[in-house]
Every structure is written in C-alpha cells, then in structure tokens.
Amino acid sequence: MKKRLCVGIVGLGCVGSAVVKILEDNKEIIRDRAGVEIVIKKAIVRDVEKYQGYPFEISNDLESLVEDTEIDIVIELMGGVEVPYELAKKTLVKQKAFVTANKAMLAYHRYELEQIAQNTPIGFEASVCGGIPVIKALKDGLSANHILSLKGILNGTSNYILTQMFNHNRSFKDALKDAQDLGYAEMNPEFDIKGIDAAHKLLILASLAYGIDARLEEILIEGIEKIEQDDIDFAKEFGYNIKLLGVAKKHKDCIELRVHPSMIKNERMLSKVDGVMNAISIVGDKVGETLYYGAGAGGEATASAVISDIIEIAREKSSLMLGFECPQSLPLKPQESIESAYYVRLLVNDEKGVLSQISAILAQNDISLNNVLQKEISQANRAKILLSTHLTNEKTILNALKELENLSSVLDTPKMIRLITE
Amino acid sequence: MKKRLCVGIVGLGCVGSAVVKILEDNKEIIRDRAGVEIVIKKAIVRDVEKYQGYPFEISNDLESLVEDTEIDIVIELMGGVEVPYELAKKTLVKQKAFVTANKAMLAYHRYELEQIAQNTPIGFEASVCGGIPVIKALKDGLSANHILSLKGILNGTSNYILTQMFNHNRSFKDALKDAQDLGYAEMNPEFDIKGIDAAHKLLILASLAYGIDARLEEILIEGIEKIEQDDIDFAKEFGYNIKLLGVAKKHKDCIELRVHPSMIKNERMLSKVDGVMNAISIVGDKVGETLYYGAGAGGEATASAVISDIIEIAREKSSLMLGFECPQSLPLKPQESIESAYYVRLLVNDEKGVLSQISAILAQNDISLNNVLQKEISQANRAKILLSTHLTNEKTILNALKELENLSSVLDTPKMIRLITE
C-alpha cells in the first residue's frame, strides 16, 4: 500500500489555489479519509513568475506533468476545451487518474475520454454545481433507480439575476450589472445568461442518468435575457416563481433535454432556491424525488468537490473501507450550556403589571427580549403572553422559567420552543 | 472476478419485500452498475408458512444464513436492537458484508460493530432518512470538509403532524390521528413524536461527522407533543415555521447534539420541507451549506438505499470504475415534440375583440387556456395580455405564436416562458 499519492495541478486560479489551500488546511482529515497522504508535486501555470513561494514545483511545461512517473493524479483546472481534452487523453493513456472541473470540455468529449480511460478513474464531481455532490448521488446514491427525470437550477449567475428581478423588482439589465459588480458574472456573461453553461452541466448529468451522447447544438436552449417585469407579475399573481432550469426526462423511446426559463409553482422546493445557490431535483423510479442544494460555484466549494474526487480515487488505491469516523477526543457538550434563542408561552392573570414582572425576571437572568405578543382570552380574565428571546443558554432559560412559574400571576408551567438563529 | 454476488435477507416486511421487488424490477441496471449479478439466495422470516412462491429459499433459521459460505452479504431488515446486533457480529466475524436499515441498533452499537468489522464493509445508508443518500454525502461528497454543523428534519411522521398543524390548523391530536389513519404513524407513535427516532438518526450522522460516541440517554431530546395553536400563531406572526430538528454542532472543545421542536425563519430551505419529507442541511468549512431532501421512509425509498449499499459493496469486489452510463440506444427527443404548458406575453392594441381573436387562434391550434391577465397601458391605447396554457407541445405553440404575431392587433413578437407542471 502506498503511503502517499502525488497530484499535479494544472491552473492555479480561483479553484486551483483553493485546492492547494484546502489540502493544507484540512490535511489531517483528508489523510484519514483517503487512507494515504495527498501531496502536490507540481503545478502548471502560464506565467511562472506570478507564482512564487509554493512548497511544490511551478512550471509552464504541461508535457512534463504527464511524463512525471511519480504523479498519480492530474487535476485539470485550466478551462477551455481542446487543450484540456488533449491533456486528459495523454493523462489517461499513461494510466494516471484524471480529475477535472471542466464542464465545457466534458460536454463535448466525455465519451471519448470514457473510452480511452478503460478502468482508469476520471473524477468530475466539480464539473456540475460546484460543491453539491450530485454526480456521486447519481452514480452511487441512486444507483438502484431508473432516473425518470431531473430538473436543475444549474447556473448561479442567472439564478442571482432572476432572484434580484423577482424579489427586488430589479430590471434584467440592473440585476446583471449587480451580478458583475459582485463578481458573480463574468464581464462577458453570455454563457451564463444564455443558458450555455447550464446546458453543459445538463449534458453531463444526462450522460450519467441515461447514457445519452447528445451535443449542445442539438438541444433546446433559451436564456433569461427576455424576461420582463410583466412576466414576473403574472408569475406572482398565479403562484409561480421563474427559474432557469435544465430539464432531462426519460420517455419510453427517447430522452428529452432542454434548458430555458421556467415558471415553477411556489410549493416546489426548486422555486425556493434563491440567489447564487444551485439545486437539482431528481426523480427515481423507486426512491421518488430527492433534491440536492448548495453553492454551485466559488473557489472553495468547487475545490471541495475536486478534493472529494481525489479522496475517492485514493481510497480505491488504498482499499480503505470507510465507516464511522474514529471516535475523537471531543466530548459531548453539556446540555445546560447549549446556547439558543427561545420562544416562551405563558398563561397569566390579565392584571396590571404582569408583563413588567415577567420582563424583570428575564432581565435579572440576563435574558433580553426579542418579540412579544399578548393575547387576551375572552373568558376568565386571563391572557397569554408569547415572547421570544435573544441568545442565551439552557441553564439560564430553565432557571428563568422556574422563577416565572413561581409568580402568582403565572397560572401554568411555562412552555418553551427553541429558535434556530443561524 | 466473481460473476454473481449472493445476498441473504433477514426480514421480508415493508422494506425487505421492496428490496426483493427492486432487485427484480431493475435487474439490468443494477447488474451494470454493480459489475456483477446480485442474487438473493435465502430469506429469513419468523413464520415460513406466510411466505410462499419466492424464487429463493425461505427459512426461519437465522444461524443458517451466517453459516452459508455462498452468501457474501447479509441484509438485516428485521428491527429490534440486540438480536440484529448479535447477527451483525456473527456476520462480520465471518467476513461477510453487512447491510442494515436499523437505526436503533446502530445508535447503540455502531462503534462495537466498526471494531469487529475491520475492513469488512458495513452499509447503513438506509438507516438515516430512507432514500436520501446523506450517509454517502457525509462519507464521500463532503470528505474534504470539517463539518461545522448539521440540522435535519429526520422524522417524517412528526413533520407530517407539524405540517398539518401549521398549514391546515389541525390540533396535535387530530393531526396525529390523520397520520395514523394514513399509515404514516405507528399505533404506538412514541418514538416518532417524542424525538427518539430522530435522535437515533442524529447519533449516526454525528458519528460520521465527528466520530462522537454519544448515547441516546445523554442528549437533549424533546418531542412535539406540547405544541399548540398559540405557538403556531406566534411563529406565523414573526416569520417562522416550526419543525422537529436534530442538530449537531462542532465547538472548539465539544460537540453539541440535540433534538427538539425548533422555530426556523421562513427564508431557510429547511422551513419549506413539508409533509412526510425529510431534509438535512450540512455546513462544511469549505463547501458552505449543502442540503439533501427526499422521502425519509417508505418501503421502496428505503430499499433504494439498501440496494445502493449492495451495489457499492459489489463494485468494490468487482473493481468496477463507474463513469458515464454506456450510451444507450435511446435518441434525443426532437425539440418540436417536447410537451409543456406555456406562458405567453402579448403586446396588443387595446381594441374590442382582440382577446377573442387571440383565444380563437389558440383554440384552432388545439391549445386550451389556463390563466389570463390583461394589463392596460396608460399611454397609447395599448394593452398587454398575459396568459398561460394547458399542456401542448413546442411545434403547436410556436405555430400558434406565429399566427398570433400575424394578427394586426398584435404589435410585437409574442414572448413565451415554459411552465413546469409536474
């Protein structure tokens, strides 16, 4: 069994530098979960001068990476289509594993690579929806199912724009400018807003679900650039949201693939996915609907997916069976020190000064109030006081509740529900 | 390489019989994805008389299953704690893989089993949230991350009851009765409504995330039985929903575990998970929040998870590398025959009869109207007509839009957005 696994990285941009950082930051858990140490041996960049002070070799010689017999896995994070495709072929021919975040390249060349790879692993979790492990869900989690359909919000930029238009009445033009100012959209945002990026991802997902070798040029693709306020008004009036969806659907004798803005009923989970977030709803013939939600882009989220592929490949090589994490030395937090905000329900005599008595007790216990609602009860001169607090802890709230119960104006044991504030 | 893998099943109840059915229904894809054929050799039931006509041996001799040298994987779907634990130990000692859906047993004995197993696989995807592949997400998809926290709606019965109370103003008692009538709750629903079932699942998830060996008796557990209409009113007033959550959280020097009803802000995806559905939100230090949603119970959903474990174990034994599905013979559906409902936006002269002209054209094209909204435009005697249709197809709608555009009263190219109706 190997003690370490050497990787070579092509590209040290946003995702590449995050891969380097996470492999260092989370070195221990990654080693434990991989069964071997993961070591970066070399990185390939265009301009070597710009990258100084890394604890591994920096080079601009792509060929040297493939030729290096010590390197077990090549990680392609350079972008483009034909150059990374050539790199992938050379890597796989040398029986080195290949990991990529490159959806455009896979949209065109996935089956050629699959053919060349034979039994050499190709990892591409990062190519679809960044940090969401949807490729693994399709390959592993749902493996007992025929996939009946999948529908995904696959592009964060267009989802951000649509959310701004829908929730904040921004025009398409203004929302696009917001996205560019925030760095969510490229200066040339065509791929995002015209649905091309989503279509790349849809093709990859459809290949996993259905084995269909469709081309970008063959499928129905529409962008979000023609959506106007009227459309949003109509959607709101009749209970819809508007999202750019990639849709794949199995029919008896064919597979349907399409990318376009869609009106989705408010009851559906997908309609609630806002901002730059992505989500994919998958319907299996046995499991029914499952949905996967998370950050679809961003350096660290995408790098998290890249590294999950590296770990999976390493495990296969190290024959590690992964069960429960080893018990760590961390103990269970004592119940009384658990922090939360709280909602409290009190049944009281509806008499002068009762709310002031209650708030005095809370204040003495260093608990600050957030919301209060007083409800009269028609009969019997009673009232309910419903309140929520800011953050405190179990010991403090339980103590305060006991003191409240002892008040003569409080008629019943106070009831409490915890609030989730983060 | 083995050509087939033999499994023995203990228990042919709701989940067990679904495992048998799916292994038969989806035999081809399961064989392709596993790399070997999966064959049921024997099932163990209490009352042999009740189970006739299966194409495998039915027996009530648990011991015989473990002793059978042909059986590679034992699938435990019997329930209980100590008997399945003994079975698991015997199975693992014989170096047979062990797959279980038994959360209660794992909540108590997971680390003992892990110790005995050494490198023999234990599959337990089905033990937490049925068909949602959250165990695989924690083990594989998020493997590059320290888990900062996880929050889950882990019990479908209590979520159904809370949804009935929150959305349909049912009392706790009535909602519980609904759940029992629909088969969502056991006649003895204590485990569900008191949070015990959710706590079992939380302990398993926390073991994967943190390696903590906590006991049910040590953690904060509260059920949903004390929630009243007043609490729901308060939640609605201040923008919350109420859900039974299992929460695990990493602190610097300890792990926090708790199960209780929680008020969650409406903006959070978790607050939108209704009915019997489950969902788990997991925050990783690198990937941020990801969320997993689906059916948490039910025979086929749970069996889907059991079989995904069997396939994973088979793959390890068969050294199958899984990439894209093999291209199948199914072609891409032609764009013009794709079916959808449509929303259409028209700019028209605000004159008599224009809506009737428009609806006539739609009717001639066999397109039936769903919703219509007419908007006056103050200046220039114009109006907008926004409408949605029932199901039709691309060819038909595009043809109708062309005819509409040719009307003298229609002033601009009609705009169209597709509706998601299923």
Q: Does position A355 have pLDDT exceeding 70, yes or no?
A: yes
DSSP A192: H
Interface of B with A in 157-196 (CB under 8 A): none
The catalytic position among A194, A201, A243, A249 is: A201
Interface of B with A in 52-91 (CB under 8 A): none
Q: How far is B86 from chain A (nearest CA, A)?
A: 19
The arithmetic mean of pLDDT across residues A396-413, rounded, is 96
pLDDT digits (tens, 9 = 90+) for B11-64: 999 999 999 999 999 999 999 999 999 999 999 999 999 998 999 999 999 999
Q: Report the distance separating Cα B310 and Cα B7, nearest Å.
A: 9
Mutate to test the interface with B, among A255, A260, A332 (most CBs of B within 10 A): A332
The arithmetic mean of pLDDT across residues A15-32, rounded, is 96
A403–chain B Cβ distance below 8 A for any pair: no
CB contact under 8 A, A295 and B285: no
User: Nearest Cβ partner of A133 from B29, B137, B289?
Assistant: B137
A288–chain B Cβ distance below 8 A for any pair: yes
- Catalytic, B177? Answer no
* pLDDT for residue B2: 61
User: Which chain B residues are closer than 8 Å to A393 by Cβ?
Assistant: none
User: Nearest Cβ partner of B133 from A141, A249, A322?
Assistant: A141
pLDDT digits (tens, 9 = 90+) for B128-170: 999 999 999 999 999 999 999 999 999 999 999 999 999 999 9
CATH 3.50.50.60, applies to A136-295: no
A420–chain B Cβ distance below 8 A for any pair: yes
The arithmetic mean of pLDDT across residues B222-240, rounded, is 94
User: Nearest Cβ partner of A210 from B263, B269, B325?
Assistant: B325
Grade residue A154 by pLDDT with cuts at 50, 70 and 90.
very high
* pLDDT for residue A327: 67
CB contact under 8 A, A312 and B145: no
CA distances, A104 to each of A151, A191, A198, A298, A300 (Å): 19, 10, 10, 17, 20
B336–chain A Cβ distance below 8 A for any pair: no
Q: What is the C-alpha radius of gyration for chain B, rounded to an integer number of angstroms?
A: 27
* pLDDT for residue B318: 73
Q: Does position A1 have pLDDT exceeding 60, yes or no?
A: no
Task: Supply B320's token pair.
Answer: 């199958």
Tell me whether residue B297 is exposed, middle or buried, using C-beta atoms within 10 angstroms of its C-beta: 0 to 12, 13 to 18, 19 or more: buried
DSSP B46: S
Q: Report the distance separating Cα A410 and Cα A346, nearest Å.
A: 7
Residues B362/B400, Cβ–Cβ less than 8 Å = yes
Residues B281/B275, Cβ–Cβ less than 8 Å = no
- Residue A398 CB neighbours (<10 A): 13
CB contact under 8 A, B139 and A322: yes
Mutate to test the interface with A, among B272, B325, B369, B413 (most CBs of A within 10 A): B325
Mean pLDDT estimate for chain B: 93
User: Nearest Cβ partner of B212 from A260, A311, A327?
Assistant: A327
A384–chain B Cβ distance below 8 A for any pair: yes
Q: How do the domains of chain A map onto residue ranges? A: 4-130, 136-295, 335-420
* pLDDT for residue A275: 96
Q: How far is A196 from chain B (nearest CA, A)?
A: 17
Give every strand in the sheet of A73-76, ordered side by side.
A57-59, A37-44, A4-10, A73-76, A97-100, A122-123
Q: Does position B327 have pLDDT exceeding 80, yes or no?
A: no
Q: Report the distance separating Cα A102 and Cα A78, nearest Å.
A: 8
Q: Report the distance separating Cα A359 and Cα B193, nearest Å.
A: 32
- In total, the C-beta contacts within 8 angstroms joining chain A to chain B are 400
User: Nearest Cβ partner of A131 from B25, B288, B292?
Assistant: B288
Which one has a higher pLDDT value, A405 or B422? A405
HSE, CB side, 13 Å, CA atoms: give it for residue A115: 6
Residues B123/A141, Cβ–Cβ less than 8 Å = no
The arithmetic mean of pLDDT across residues A340-363, rounded, is 94
A142–chain B Cβ distance below 8 A for any pair: yes
pLDDT digits (tens, 9 = 90+) for B280-290: 999 999 999 99
In three-state secondary structure terms, A231 is helix
Q: How far is A249 from chain B (nearest CA, A)?
A: 9
Residue B80 CA to its chain's centroid (Å) = 24
B214–chain A Cβ distance below 8 A for any pair: yes
The catalytic position among B151, B201, B243, B250 is: B201
Q: Does an H or E element contain A110, and which?
A: helix A103-117
Q: Which residues, in sequence order, are bridge partners of residue A98?
A: A74, A122
Pairing of strands B73-76, B97-100: parallel
C-alpha torsion sign, points A65, A71, A72, A78: negative
Q: How far is B379 from chain A (nearest CA, A)?
A: 16
Q: Report the distance separating Cα B19 and Cα B40, nearest Å.
A: 10
A248–chain B Cβ distance below 8 A for any pair: no
pLDDT digits (tens, 9 = 90+) for A298-319: 999 999 999 999 999 998 877 7
CATH 3.40.50.720, applies to A4-130: yes
* pLDDT for residue B19: 98
Q: Does position A201 have pLDDT exceeding 60, yes or no?
A: yes
CB contact under 8 A, B269 and A240: no
The arithmetic mean of pLDDT across residues A164-180, rounded, is 95
CA distances, B151 to each of B103, B125, B250, B280 (Å): 18, 18, 12, 6
Q: Of the candidates A235, A35, A9, which has an alpha carbon nearest to the alpha carbon of residue B387?
A: A235
* pLDDT for residue A378: 76
The arithmetic mean of pLDDT across residues A108-126, rounded, is 93
Q: Report the distance separating Cα A203 and Cα A215, nearest Å.
A: 8
Q: How far is A259 from chain B (nearest CA, A)?
A: 10
Q: Report the distance separating Cα B220 and Cα A338, nearest Å.
A: 9
User: Nearest Cβ partner of B254 from A262, A295, A333?
Assistant: A333
A393–chain B Cβ distance below 8 A for any pair: no
Produce one character per residue of B403-415: b if its CB has 16 or more CB atoms within 10 Å, e if not: bbeebebbeeebb
A224-228 — which CB contacts under 8 Å span 24+ positions?
A224/A158, A224/A161, A224/A162, A224/A172, A224/A193, A224/A195, A224/A261, A225/A172, A225/A193, A225/A194, A226/B415, A227/A162, A227/A165, A227/A172, A227/A261, A227/B417, A228/A172, A228/B345, A228/B415
Using the structure block, give the residue that is written with the tokens 């409490």: A416
The arithmetic mean of pLDDT across residues A170-190, rounded, is 90
- Residue A92 CB neighbours (<10 A): 22
Q: Does position A2 have pLDDT exceeding 70, yes or no?
A: no
User: Which chain A residues are closer than 8 Å to B211 by Cβ?
Assistant: 324-328
First to last CA, chain A: 43
Q: Report the distance separating Cα B182 and Cα B186, nearest Å.
A: 10
Amino acid of residue B238: F
HSE, CB side, 13 Å, CA atoms: give it for residue B299: 13
Write the DSSP assignment of B88-144 as a string of letters. HHHHHHTT-EEEE--HHHHHHHHHHHHHHHTTS-EE-GGGSSTT--HHHIIIIITTT
CB contact under 8 A, B141 and A139: no
Interface of A with B in 35-54 (CB under 8 A): none
Residues A293/A278, Cβ–Cβ less than 8 Å = yes
pLDDT digits (tens, 9 = 90+) for B180-209: 999 888 778 999 999 999 999 999 999 999
Residues B121/B109, Cβ–Cβ less than 8 Å = no
CB contact under 8 A, A231 and B284: no
Residues A4/A71, Cβ–Cβ less than 8 Å = no
Q: How far is B109 from chain A (nearest CA, A)?
A: 12
Q: How far is A201 from chain B (nearest CA, A)?
A: 13
B1–chain A Cβ distance below 8 A for any pair: no
Residue B303 CA to its chain's centroid (Å) = 12
Q: Under CATH, what is the fold of the domain A335-420? A: Alpha-Beta Plaits (3.30.70)
Produce one character per residue of B72-83: b if its CB has 16 or more CB atoms within 10 Å, e if not: bbbbbbbbeeee
Q: What is the C-alpha radius of gyration for chain A, rounded to an integer number of angstroms?
A: 27
Does A20 appear as a known binding residue?
Answer: no
* pLDDT for residue A318: 73
* pLDDT for residue A375: 87
pTM (global) more than 0.90: yes
Q: A181 CB contacts (<8 Å, ≥6 apart)?
A: none
C-alpha torsion sign, points A340, A345, A349, A353: positive
When mean pLDDT is compared across A19-23, B70-74, B379-383, the lowest value belongs to B379-383
Q: How far is B358 from chain A (nearest CA, A)?
A: 18
Q: Which residues, in sequence order, are bridge partners of residue B261?
A: B244
User: Nearest Cβ partner of A111 from B288, B307, B324?
Assistant: B324
* pLDDT for residue A422: 76
Closest residue on chain B to A235 (Cα): B343
Using the structure block, give the residue that is written with the tokens 């594989």: B140
Amino acid of residue A53: G
Does A15 appear as a known binding residue?
Answer: yes
Write the DSSP assignment of A353-368 as a string of letters. THHHHHHHHHHHTT--
Q: Report the distance separating Cα B126 and Cα A267, nearest Å.
A: 27
Q: Does an H or E element contain B163, and which?
A: helix B156-168
Grade residue B278 by pLDDT with cuts at 50, 70 and 90.
very high
User: Which chain A residues are closer than 8 Å to B144 by Cβ?
Assistant: 22, 26, 30, 303-304, 307-308, 311
* pLDDT for residue B323: 72
Q: Report the distance separating Cα B172 and Cα B166, nearest Å.
A: 10
Does B339 appear as a known binding residue?
Answer: no
Q: Of the candidates B364, B365, B357, which has an alpha carbon nearest to the alpha carbon of residue B394?
A: B365
Range list of β-strands (E), B164-300: 220-221, 240-250, 255-265, 277-284, 288-295
* pLDDT for residue A363: 96
In chain A, how long is the greatest CA-to-CA distance?
87
CB contact under 8 A, A335 and B258: yes
